[in-house]
Amino acid sequence: SAVISQKPSRDICQRGTSLTIQCQVDSQVTMMFWYRQQPGQSLTLIATANQGSEATYESGFVIDKFPISRPNLTFSTLTVSNMSPEDSSIYLCSAREGSSDIQYFGAGTRLSVL
């Protein structure tokens, strides 16, 4: 099974600043995903990130607010831009293991915006 590491595990940020979250997978994967989990809620997909192409964003999420990079088959970043308190959430990275069609998740980044 793929092991996914996210950095930072948590951060407290000021309104108007940006934070970049890193996601590292211990094996090569074609598809990676970014989710948001607001306090007390379930997970919501932000975007799908494939290596070599632009990320595909879900309704309600835009590239200017959540730019994503996917430079290779083991790494991706999600930036939360111009943050407001409403962006306080857990952000989770996920990767799909192609041979088994199973998705594995990182432990998440707990973001608080003041």
Partner 1 sequence: DAKTTQPTSMDCAEGRAANLPCNHSTISGNEYVYWYRQIHSQGPQYIIHGLKNNETNEMASLIITEDRKSSTLILPHATLRDTAVYYCIVRVAGYSGAGSYQLTFGKGTKLSVIP
Stretch that binds partner 1, among 14-22, 62-70, 74-82, 102-110 (CB under 8 A): 102-110
Stretch that binds partner 1, among 13-21, 38-46, 59-67, 77-85 (CB under 8 A): 38-46
Stretch that binds partner 1, among 13-21, 39-47, 60-68, 74-82 (CB under 8 A): 39-47
Strand extents, DSSP E, the chain = 4-7, 10-13, 19-25, 31-37, 43-50, 56-57, 68-72, 75-80, 89-97, 102-105, 109-113
Residue pair 32/75 in contact (Cβ under 8 Å)? The answer is no
CA distance 94 to 114: 27
| Residue selected from 1, 14, 53, 99 as contacting partner 1 according to rule CB under 8 A | 1
Contacts to partner 1 by CB under 8 A:
1, 4, 31, 33, 35, 42-45, 48, 56, 92, 94, 96, 101-108
